Amino acid sequence: MVAERSGDFVALNADVVGYSALVADDVETTTSAMSAYSELVSTQVERNGGTLANFVGDSFMAIFDEPMSALRTAIAICTEVEARNAGVASTRQVRFRMGMDQGPVTFAAGNHHGDALNISARIQAIARPGGLAVSGRVYRALDEPALRFRPMGRQQLKNIPGEVDVYEFADLPTGGWDGHGNRLLALEAVTLAVLPSHTEMVDDTVRAAVAMIRSDLIHSLSAIPDLQLIDAPDDPDQLPDSAARYMIETGVHQFGDRVRVFAVLFDVNTMNVVKSHKWNAGVPDLFALSDRVAEEVRRSVEVELVVGEPARFYAELDDPESIQQIYLGWYHLRNETKEDWQQAIDMFDRVATKHPDKPYGFVLAGFAYWLGTASQWVADPGEALTTAEDLARKGAATGDPTGMAQAVQAAVLMSRGQVDEALAMLDHLEIVRPTCDVTYGLEGSVRRYLGQWEQAVELLDKAMRLTGINKPWYPTVKASSLFLGNRLEEAASLAQGVLDYQPNNLEALMVLAASQVELGLERRARATGDLIKQRFPAVDVESWLDKTPYQRREIIDRWKDDLTSAGAIAAL
């Protein structure tokens, strides 16, 4: 018997996913399973010092004195549920959605009352199957660096006034259960499987030709940087453990001496078709068709998955070797090391030398020189900025329709502290063909330094929509812009996403540490500050900040105060 009490407690609410379907499929088995799960829940709640308020049908509510006990309970329940699901048909597996909130709770007349109960139930409703979501109050109370959370943003919950910050706990044994998840930042290399070709109801000549077409396709796709290619075997059970995010299905239909060849690119997670192709030809023409199939499919993959819209633009160069140099240059820049940066410059310079009447090589090399200065990879920053400016001007003189040449010049001006000139360059930016993600990324970066954080966020979003795999500095600049706008949860989340891919990104670490300080997450902030010191022992963070071209002194002072609190800058 629980005595009457009131105070600040944590509510854990859970509900079984698809319970009605489970009952409709097999009521007896489902009822028996829920009886066993009720016992599991009761045991774990009691073991962690909680009170089971109810377990009715497919849902339960438990009350705890502090959030760590509630979290331990949720983890234990989830772990045991996954263990019991092993070997059970997927249609019969049981999983809970769980939600947590913290706030005043009263127990009287045999019932618990309080907003925390209602809010935890609403948060549970938006959690992923097999997942746990918590309110901002619980997240801030769980200030433990080892616990990983992903912000779900501010949510308007049903019948709850105002918006509630919601976070997803990232370390449950389900691992997200419902698929690979969205490529929020699109920073990872794309994995693509080429399935065996469909050749039913065709003669041996056509079957051999289709095998050749598939072989040529794989050869063509293998030349794309940042694409992990899987040659899928005939037996699906022999597929490698690393599942592909995308697949290409090819095949042929034969009608006498005529054939229709098809290739379909689709997303494995959603099974949605990304791009489809078909070609009609005579049987004798299949050999000649093979190169066309390989080229058109490769271009689709470049545009839809890897390079993005610029692939359409660069293809007009009509020089496969130079296009490859451009792609490889971008590949090296994404690695963000001095050695890769130098290789990128060499490749872009080759394009400029080979095509002096085209803007591509000049503009890309100019951007690379500016990036080298911003990343402190150059021995003489002043000379590098002059080179970047000269190359960008040559790009503009040869008719750059993307606006990138002007954006590079604006970035150079900003780096020199010529603020008015940089702003004038941006305000007169001429974009004939809005296909270049770097143009918007550069403009967003400059406007971030000007304090125009909202415009910067919009521009970085546009840049990320235009490219298949993002340059890591896009979400990094967006994260710093969100920090400037006091959208701290979003800034921290984005910075953490970059660090998951690129752990030695100094600016992302600084955004994360400063955001954690201002969110009141002292232990997490100190842990991030320690990472900055460990990973960049030779970097004077205070001097690094003083060299950034932010135009408002209070922005630099804010960074310094936060990073001093995080321990990344030594306190005076």
pLDDT at residue 53 above 90? no
- Cα of 401 vs its chain's centroid, Å: 29
Pick the closest to residue 442 from 455, 554, 432 (CA basis): 455
C-alpha to C-alpha distance for 187 and 361, rounded to whole angstroms: 24
Q: pLDDT-based confidence at 312, cuts 50/70/90?
A: confident
Q: What is the chain's mean pLDDT, rounded?
A: 89
The owner of tokens 């992923």 is 128
pLDDT at residue 12 in the model: 95
- The sign one gets for the Cα dihedral 207, 212, 213, 218 is positive
pLDDT at residue 175 in the model: 46
pLDDT at residue 83 above 90? no
Q: In the chain, pLDDT over 90 holds for what percent of residues?
A: 59
Amino acid at 281: A
Q: Which two tokens stand for residue 174?
A: 């389900």
> How many contiguous H segments (helices) and E segments (strands) does the chain have?
22, 13
Which ranges in 170-232 belong to alpha helices (H)?
Answer: 204-221
pLDDT at residue 338 above 80? yes
Mean pLDDT of all residues in 340-363? 96
Mean pLDDT of all residues in 541-570? 94
In this structure, are residues 423 and 407 in contact, taking their beta carbons and an 8 Å threshold?
A: no
3-state DSSP assignment of residue 411: helix
C-alpha to C-alpha distance for 366 and 351, rounded to whole angstroms: 12
Q: pLDDT-based confidence at 110, cuts 50/70/90?
A: low
Q: Which two tokens stand for residue 445?
A: 């970066």
pLDDT at residue 383 in the model: 96
pLDDT at residue 183 in the model: 43
C-alpha to C-alpha distance for 63 and 50, rounded to whole angstroms: 6
Q: pLDDT-based confidence at 470, cuts 50/70/90?
A: confident
In this structure, are residues 474 and 508 in contact, taking their beta carbons and an 8 Å threshold?
A: no
Mean pLDDT of all residues in 337-348? 94
Between 91 and 446, the more confident residue is 446
- Listed ranges 121-125, 149-153, 466-470, 480-484; the one with the highest mean pLDDT: 480-484
The owner of tokens 């190169």 is 291
Between 525 and 86, the more confident residue is 525
pLDDT at residue 228 above 50? yes
Domains of the chain: 5-169 (3.30.70.1230), 190-306 (3.40.50.10070), 311-465 (1.25.40.10), 472-572 (1.25.40.10)
pLDDT at residue 237 above 80? no
pLDDT at residue 160 above 90? no
In this structure, of 84-88, 198-202, 287-291, 408-412, the range with the lowest mean pLDDT score is 84-88
Q: Which two tokens stand for residue 205?
A: 């000549």
pLDDT at residue 179 in the model: 37
Mean pLDDT of all residues in 521-527? 95
pLDDT at residue 1 in the model: 46
pLDDT at residue 184 above 60? no
C-alpha to C-alpha distance for 435 and 349, rounded to whole angstroms: 22
Q: pLDDT-based confidence at 515, cuts 50/70/90?
A: very high
Phi first, then psi: give them for residue 441, nearest 5 degrees.
Answer: -65, -40
pLDDT at residue 204 above 60? yes
Q: pLDDT-based confidence at 547, cuts 50/70/90?
A: confident
In this structure, are residues 102 and 119 in contact, taking their beta carbons and an 8 Å threshold?
A: no
Amino acid at 538: A
pLDDT at residue 493 above 60? yes
- Cα of 521 vs its chain's centroid, Å: 23
For 34-73, the three-class secondary structure string (H helix, E strand, C coil) is HHHHHHHHHHHHHHCCCEEEEEECCEEEEEECCHHHHHHH
C-alpha to C-alpha distance for 447 and 445, rounded to whole angstroms: 6
pLDDT at residue 176 above 60? no
Each residue of 7-46: pLDDT tens digit?
789 999 999 988 888 888 888 888 888 888 899 999 999 9
